[in-house]
Chain A
Amino acid sequence: MSQAEGAAGAAGSSAEGAARERTGSAAEGAVRAGAGRNPLWTFGILRSEFATTLRRWRTLALLGVLAAVPVLIGIAVRIETADGSSAGAGGGEGGPAFLSQVTNNGLFLVFAALAATLPVFLPMAVGVIAGDAIAGEANAGTLRYLLVAPAGRTRLLLAKYAATLGFCLVATLVVAASALAVGALLFPVGDVTTISGTTIGFGEGLVRAGLVAVFVAASLTGFAALGLFVSTLTNSGIAAMAATVGLLITVQIVDTIPQLSAVHPYLFPHYWLSFSDLLRAPVYWDEVLKNLELQALYAAVFGSAAWARFTTKDITA
């Protein structure tokens, strides 16, 4: 019991804390706390969600794959340019954007890796996490225990979405950090030539790279909400993950069909690669903002749908 007393004593100067200390029982303290609970306690679930997500082997494997992509690109470019030719010079349009600049400046590997992972790898990883968010808990039966804890359906859903967004950011930063390390190791680094042709210092280049990473993470928020909605529709984690990733692939294909160009501006991946506009001087904001608006729209629509579905659903799993 001394542990609880110590904890209460350390945190508490309030009368409530003192009363709790006097009782000398952790259990007893808890029941009283029910009356005067701290609103901050409600965020405990958020930390728990995020930590639980990151402790799964599956999450670590996904992050491992994401970290490996820049390594592969870096090594490939290095081998290909060993004879002095420049990468992608022949094909031009063949590889991901920024590939040809990598040999001159390792920092460009960050942009090349993000451009390479954004269409498929990154959203696929997010789709796995988002799709599994509710359905996976339902599948394991843990959902009913979280709800009788009581986590609160809205609170649990918000925590799940927040944890998924956290994963978007972590995943993007893993790609960027891995690319930066590999780029610095295999290629020279230095002043950055922007797309507009101007030159900025390496320090500012790094800032731009960070900005791009955060923007890429933000690009995934709409898709994350979509995945969360799918996750509320089924009790099978695998089905939800497969459906979410399937949706991603379908939308990506639709986005490449010229005859369907009328719907393209409404597809969530349509403006994803606009992050390159952040490397112009001055920054060209038009499509960047369009992308953010579109993501906010998707998050609002599918977030509401997920909420409507989850708060009225019979939990039979």
Chain B
Amino acid sequence: MAGSDAGTIGQPGAPGTAPVIETRGLTKRYRGGQLAVDGLDLSVPAGSVFGFLGPNGSGKTTTIRMLMGLIAPTSGTASVLGRPMPDASRRVLPEVGALIEGPALYGFLSGRDNLLRYDRADPTADPRTRAARVGDALERVGLAPAAGKKARAYSLGMKQRLGLAAALLRPRRLLVLDEPTNGLDPQGMREIRALVRELAADGTTVFLSSHLLDEIEQVCTHAAVMARGRLLTQGPVAGLATGGRLVVTTPDPADAARVLKEHGVTGITLDGDRVRADAPPGTVELADLNAALVRGGVRVRAFGVERASLEDAFVALTGEGFDVAG
């Protein structure tokens, strides 16, 4: 498998310093006046797994298409791997693997032939290693057994895997994955997450758009949230989902609430056998709090701090509304 030796080559440039993706005032207004992306200042650090979030129609895909040189921005600039896009497409894109708005395949070609065709489209891809690289990519996404089947006979999940394989045809410095787990079964999603982690460990920057927030939470180090074409926030995931709730599960909720109150815990609410409260500041040793509960005669079934989920942070930023952005 390619995975084992990719680690040595994932980082042609020193990671860490310059952002892999940087946009300044990136704006796209479609003919007809619709403002799809509005003054976007995005900065994706090298080596990060960057989650790109936003409701449907918030401008995520338009942004990705501008980054990949498919759409020309109305104003503003975008640079990828330190070079301006779309001007430097031919220098930049061989080092970028992309899955944009789902896979697109030639139904009349086999999975393997699809990859061969995409690889031939790249003038910098060495034809001498082509067959081996295609084989590695198929192996990596678990599609090798179905490589000879016509792509039109593939299930959605298999198509998604083949799309990923196309993004992995060569070692990349940046992977742009738009909804990569779309159509995959839970097993497939796990595999993709493992693959993303593996690639990130090799030093590849992964730019991941998804609407599955727990997925972002599980694999991403950084995230940005877009809504109605604007960037609402960006930064490390840990910083986005701040604050937490102390949760005690006990058959004696009233007693627990009293003891907690005595120890200066605030925001206590009762909910059946659960007592919730604001997480105490970092100076408080949680184990002491638990010991105090037990000493106070409270039978504790479960005790712990629930981190605020990214979903809470996301909803707080974009609103609860179910309507897609116009």
Contact = CB atoms under 8 A, between A and B. Distances in A.
Contacts of A26: 2, 129, 132-133, 136
Interface in B104-136: 104-106, 108-109, 116-129, 131-133, 135-136
A55 B108 contact: yes
Interface string A128-163: 000000000000111011111111100110000000
Given A33-B124, A47-B120, A52-B117, 17 more contacts: A8-B129, A25-B9, A29-B129, A30-B133, A31-B9, A41-B125, A44-B125, A52-B109, A141-B101, A141-B102, A145-B121, A148-B98, A150-B94, A151-B121, A152-B123, A314-B72, A315-B71
Contacts of A140: 104-106
A141 B125 CA distance: 22
Given A27-B171, A148-B69, A41 B127 contact: yes
In the A-B complex, the 8 residue pairs with the closest CB atoms: A141-B104, A26-B132, A150-B93, A149-B121, A4-B132, A48-B120, A151-B121, A26-B129
Contact of B122 (A8, A11, A12, A151): A151
A297 to B, nearest CB: 30
Nearest to B92: A150
A293 interface: no
15 contacts: A7-B128, A30-B126, A30-B170, A33-B124, A33-B126, A41-B126, A44-B121, A45-B120, A48-B117, A52-B117, A56-B108, A144-B101, A149-B119, A315-B70, A316-B70
A3 B123 contact: no
A253 interface: no
Nearest to B93: A150
Interface string B127-151: 1110111011000000000000000
A316 B121 contact: no
B171 A30 contact: yes
Question: Per DSSP, are chain A's interface residues mostly helix, strand or loop, or mixed?
Answer: helix
Contacts of B108: 55-57
A10 B120 CA distance: 20
| Interface-centre pick from B5, B71, B131 (highest chain A CB count, 10 A) | B5
Interface of A: 1, 3-4, 7-8, 10-12, 20, 25-31, 33-34, 37-38, 41-42, 44-45, 47-48, 52, 55-57, 140-142, 144-152, 155-156, 312, 314-316
Contacts of B122: 149-151
A37 B95 CA distance: 14
Which of the listed residues A7, A57, A146, A149 has the most CB atoms from chain B within 10 Å of its own CB?
Answer: A149
Contacts, number: 156
Given A141-B101, A315-B70, A315-B71, A27 B120 contact: no
Contact of B131 (A3, A28, A144, A145): A3
Contacts of B6: 27
A1 B171 contact: no
A163 to B, nearest CB: 12
A315 B177 CA distance: 18
B171 A44 contact: no
B171 A145 contact: no
Contacts of B170: 27, 30-31
Contact of B123 (A30, A42, A148, A312): A42
B68 interface: yes
A45 to B, nearest CB: 5
B5 A11 contact: no
B33 to A, nearest CB: 15
A152 to B, nearest CB: 6
Contact of A27 (B9, B12, B96): B9
A303 to B, nearest CB: 21
A56 B106 CA distance: 10
B257 to A, nearest CB: 57
B72 A34 contact: no
A236 to B, nearest CB: 15
Given A1-B132, A30-B133, A146 B94 contact: no
B100 A45 contact: no
Contacts of A10: 128
Given A3-B131, A27-B170, A34 B95 contact: yes
A152 B9 CA distance: 26
B8 A144 contact: no
Contacts of A142: 104-106
A28 B8 contact: yes
Contacts of B2: 25-27
B90 interface: yes
Of the candidates B8, B65, B129, the one having the most CB atoms from chain A within 10 angstroms of its own CB is B129
Contacts of B123: 37, 41-42, 44-45, 151-152, 155
B71 A316 contact: yes
B163 to A, nearest CB: 8
B70 A55 contact: no
